[in-house]
């Protein structure tokens, strides 16, 4: 299986490349027509959500991205 790469673009979309599947909340897959690269909307303005349609350019979406380390995950509490 090819590696999947997700790039968080400055002032724009999430670019996903590689071998991946995108599903709705019920687990039904989106038909990607063989694409191995897609852009997902971050600005919330796309008329083709969850996919990017370039609306971020017109709405003034701005977010500069700098890679950083996440804090370790919190332990899950037991439900016993």
**Containing structural domain, residue 12:** 1-65
Q: Which strands make up the sheet holding 37-40, listed edge to edge?
A: 5-8, 14-17, 37-40
pLDDT at 78: 78
**For residue 4, is it within any domain?**
yes
Domain tally, the chain: 1
State the DSSP H helix or E strand holding residue 40, giving kind and residue range, or none if neither: strand 37-40
Residue 21 has pLDDT above 90, yes or no: yes
How would you classify residue 52: left for phi > 0, otherwise alpha for psi between -120 and 50, otherwise beta? beta
CATH number for the domain that contains residue 56: 3.40.5.90
**Which tokens hold the place of 64?**
């500069």
Q: Convert the pLDDT of each residue in 25-67 to its tens digit.
A: 999 999 999 999 999 999 999 999 999 999 999 999 999 999 9
**For residue 76, is it within any domain?**
no
Banded pLDDT at 2 (limits 50, 70, 90)? low
**For residue 77, is it within any domain?**
no
**For residue 71, is it within any domain?**
no
């Amino acid at each position: 299986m090819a590696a999947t790469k997700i790039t968080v673009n400055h002032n724009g979309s999430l670019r996903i490349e590689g071998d991946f599947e995108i599903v709705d909340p019920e687990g039904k897959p989106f038909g990607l027509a063989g694409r191995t690269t897609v852009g997902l909307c971050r600005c919330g303005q796309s008329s083709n959500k969850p996919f990017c349609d370039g609306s971020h350019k017109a709405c003034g979406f701005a977010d500069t991205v700098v890679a950083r380390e996440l804090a370790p995950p919190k332990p899950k509490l037991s439900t016993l």
